[in-house]
Structure 1
């Protein structure tokens, strides 16, 4: 029997579209998971929160019931430690209406009211705000006003309220984090995507620490630098969840970080973690940086996390008294000794 510490989170995001890949809620390692962030619900311009895919969320036959949300409701009865949180927003369309909604008291109120209706209808434990992201100080102010409105309808401690936030200071500086955390149980710090097709050189996309001699500005970013920035704003470490990607970023034609790659600017090159290392590739781990990669096969140089780096990151979370970790996504995890969720659980809960 797995024993959960009430003070350490081992969370995963579950994207509703994964049901179309034959990955139902029951496929997650729920005995090792404390929080599932069910993504995504969306918000209309008038503030109404609604399900982004009603077929997947409430109608499809899955796990002996109708819809993934009902499945999670039933699974919670079997896993008493589990909290299921409805994540609202996401990239692109999912975040398009947040700025307008948060700027208006009436739409903030409708957001909070309709979010609570969904939480109660499906027996959920709370909501996660994944607004990507407030782009100036005014939006940052309105973001906090939205959190305050939500807390009126979803009071602590009965309901969970979390928020996924970027790891870069360029985004975080728009938010008064000291004020924001008063309303939040956790800040899900997205400590990944430091490097990718938007930069001209290969680089680790989720390193725990920066190298001594960074080859570009992206290489200066790290999970540690993000955590340090957030805690410098008087956010308690216990409210920070360290984000870990269950996917790798590929840089074709490269063998090391800091090299120009053959992909086109803006071209996504990703592999799910469970498909790594690539066939014919060799996997490496840098325990000083807290980063892994593989070279060879069809991916070129691929940056990702493996069980060794996840244990390092989970150890960092423990040593720095963070709230725990989360994964984007739980559905991309490996099996057996290659499981990232298992690796983090074992490190987080080892005495």
Structure 2
């Protein structure tokens, strides 16, 4: 059906999970912009509730200072179906009162109700109406099937319908697509078509719900900052469908390199954020759609004398080899350094001969000034569980808010989902 055609309740059911987009991708006129101020976004990874014990209640401690949450990740099956990667964490687990936003024990029941993280996120949205939640699909682990799905009209339609149905079922505000990465122009063209149909289906669902006077459901993409990857994308075609481009402005250096490097430098390095920003702008992406990613982790190198020096191996890391959560840095015995010309920081332990590249609050603040000076859309973190406590002076969300918080995005979230499969979402948790 056309995205601008009238929709009825029967068109959005479990048998026909989302209105199909037509090939013309007709646009619906929505009132107001997708954003009206600086974005402060962060990824919430569903697997962090386990060993790291980072829950939605931890996220709530800084909900006033965040504008967007990207819920990572939904996965994609070979037929194009988008499914939850951990149903227990996402929609099934009844959480005790101390892990509930409303302070009330969640109880498993006989009805079809959402529980788990998505119930808590809905309750969080009720409390903080400026906070928008998007479902992020793919990521490094689940991008394998994107190319085949995007190239196949039937699979593409399955992807779009199932993704929009998930957004509508669990009470979210948009869809974030993280395809890592299209390999050639054919895949880039298929990506544009996938985005066009996703945009049309989100708009059609919103029209069906008779909410065209409400803020538009968001469509965002996580995109690379390495020229070899982003120069393959059809960015000027993508941008007409995409509200936010989340620049993955990190992992510029790592264990794949011959020498130690800065993993998130803004300037004067072989890979750097400023080059990527300028290239995206030159390709036709509006500045306010560009959101600069910031790492909440460090990459370590062993047996080295520091930046641009050879190394041998990587240290053990916090949870996996070579990677350290920001809240563990700098390690005892290490000295912290900053290069304000590159906008890069790191620590070095001369006894261990260990170099770790990460962003300090000073560098984060300087990057946020860069964002303001260039009229960019805001900042994004991968990922929020690794930050220090909000009361810690080295907390990175606070560092961003201190610079961008004078005019953050206040576009309201969505609370009405009349066709959700879950009774408590349909009733707004009443």
TM-score by length of 2: 0.76
Per-residue deviation at 1:254?
A: 2.1
Instruction: Decide whether the 8 Å contact of 2:346 with 2:355 is kept in 1.
Output: yes
Tell me whether 1:164 sits opposite 2:222 in the alignment.
yes
Which consecutive unaligned segments of at least 5 residues does structure 1 have? Answer: 211-218
Closer, same or farther in 2 for the Cα pair 1:299/1:52, shift >3 Å? farther
More strand by share: 1
Aligned mate of 2:134, from 73, 85, 89: 85
Tell me whether 1:18 sits opposite 2:48 in the alignment.
yes
More helix by share: 1
Closer, same or farther in 2 for the Cα pair 1:264/1:271, shift >3 Å? closer
1:188-337, aligned counterparts within 5 Å? Answer: 188-210=246-268, 219-263=269-313, 268-296=321-349, 300-335=354-389, 336-337=392-393
Provide Cα deviations, 1:309-349, integer angstroms capped at 9, x if missing partner.
Answer: 00011111111011101000011111321111110111013
Per-residue deviation at 1:80?
A: 1.0
Closer, same or farther in 2 for the Cα pair 1:24/1:139, shift >3 Å? same
How far apart, CA to CA, are the structure 1 residues paired with 2:148 and 2:373? 40
Provide Cα deviations, 1:140-175, integer angstroms capped at 9, x if missing partner.
Answer: 000000001101111285200000011011111111
Instruction: Decide whether the 8 Å contact of 1:281 with 1:295 is kept in 2.
Output: yes
Per-residue deviation at 1:43?
A: 1.1
Per-residue deviation at 1:284?
A: 1.4
Secondary structure in 2 aligned to 1:257? coil
Per-residue deviation at 1:255?
A: 3.3
Instruction: Decide whether the 8 Å contact of 2:41 with 2:66 is kept in 1.
Output: yes
Closer, same or farther in 2 for the Cα pair 1:298/1:118, shift >3 Å? farther
By relative contact order (CA 8 Å, sep 6+), the higher-ranking structure is 2
Instruction: Decide whether the 8 Å contact of 2:65 with 2:405 is kept in 1.
Output: no
Provide Cα deviations, 1:8-45, integer angstroms capped at 9, x if missing partner.
Answer: 10000011000112110121221211100000001111
How far apart, CA to CA, are the structure 2 residues paired with 1:340 and 1:255? 28
Closer, same or farther in 2 for the Cα pair 1:72/1:294, shift >3 Å? same
Aligned mate of 1:116, from 157, 164, 181: 164
Aligned mate of 1:44, from 57, 77, 88: 77
Per-residue deviation at 1:71?
A: 1.1
How far apart, CA to CA, are the structure 2 residues paired with 1:192 and 1:298? 25
Instruction: Decide whether the 8 Å contact of 2:302 with 2:314 is kept in 1.
Output: no
Per-residue deviation at 1:58?
A: 1.1
Tell me whether 1:33 sits opposite 2:63 in the alignment.
no
Provide Cα deviations, 1:237-292, integer angstroms capped at 9, x if missing partner.
Answer: 10001010000011112232111111069x94110100000111111111221111
Provide Cα deviations, 1:32-65, integer angstroms capped at 9, x if missing partner.
Answer: 1110000000111111110011111111233334
When the two chains are superposed, the root-mean-square deviation of aligned CA atoms in Å is 1.7
Per-residue deviation at 1:70?
A: 1.4
**What's 1:154 paired with?**
202
What is the count of residue pairs matched by the alignment?
337
Q: Which range is displaced more, 20-29 or 239-248? A: 20-29
Secondary structure in 1 aligned to 2:171? coil
Secondary structure in 2 aligned to 1:349? helix
Provide Cα deviations, 1:195-247, integer angstroms capped at 9, x if missing partner.
Answer: 1000010010000111xxxxxxxx31101111011111011010001010000
**What's 1:136 paired with?**
184
Per-residue deviation at 1:183?
A: 0.5
Instruction: Decide whether the 8 Å contact of 2:301 with 2:314 is kept in 1.
Output: no
Secondary structure in 1 aligned to 2:194? helix
- The structure with the largest alpha-carbon Rg is 2
How far apart, CA to CA, are the structure 1 residues paired with 2:73 and 2:352? 31
How far apart, CA to CA, are the structure 1 residues paired with 2:144 and 2:44? 21
How far apart, CA to CA, are the structure 2 residues paired with 1:316 and 1:125? 28
